[in-house]
Chain A
């Protein structure tokens, strides 16, 4: 079942923070985050595993709440290069494939 992402779209000014949420109705084993810039292929950002720690890279980090079956992606002090559509992909244990959400379009303005 497709995870639900919120918000569907967000517009920020450079330097502002953003949070993108990903929720599933099913128990999750892992959550994957990808970013797709306009006209380009989706690119892997990070993976969070059940029982694992919060991941992060520079100013982009994510958390995984197993009990709530949701993950959140945090972008702090956003840069123009962060613009794009963010997808979460979820994996229920044993599913052996990712199911992606509908995406969140993030626009960063100067």
Chain B
């Protein structure tokens, strides 16, 4: 099976712009979670989707949003970019909706905000 794929892999934007990141989960996986990774902060949970519904949301401002499509592919959007949004954005897919399900991470999208 193909792994989790994320596009694009690298992105450079300027402050104030908006960005959309895409994640394709492993075939058959219905849950997709998004994380922001910055040095020293570890993996900060953004949100989780299961069957097109957002089930959980982390402590991020409303500028961060996401959605999931019927084929389980997911997108996250960040509007009005700030310098502090520069980070590696990881998505992870799992088979079901339980926190006990193993998460399979994608390679991430490296976002740089200038």
Contact = CB atoms under 8 A, between A and B. Distances in A.
Nearest to A43: B105
Contact of B42 (A49, A95, A103): A103
Nearest to B56: A97
Interface string B39-74: 011111100100000011000000000000000000
B99 A91 contact: yes
B25 interface: no
A43 B104 CA distance: 7
Contacts of B4: 41
B100 A91 contact: yes
B108 A41 contact: yes
Contacts of B48: 96-97
Contacts of B92: 42
Contacts of B98: 96
Interface in A14-34: 29-30, 32, 34
A30 B99 contact: yes
A: contact size bracket? 20 to 34
A67 to B, nearest CB: 21
B55 A96 contact: yes
B56 A96 contact: yes
B103 interface: yes
Q: Which of B40, B43, B102, B103 has the most CB of A within 10 A?
A: B43
Interface string A27-69: 0011010100000111110010100000000000000000000
A96 B45 contact: no
For the complex of A and B, 10 pairs with smallest distance between CB atoms:
A102-B42, A41-B105, A100-B43, A91-B99, A97-B56, A103-B42, A42-B105, A44-B102, A100-B42, A41-B107
Given A41-B4, A97-B33, A97-B55, 17 more contacts: A32-B102, A42-B105, A44-B102, A44-B103, A91-B100, A96-B55, A96-B56, A96-B99, A97-B45, A97-B99, A98-B103, A100-B42, A100-B43, A100-B45, A101-B42, A103-B42, A103-B43
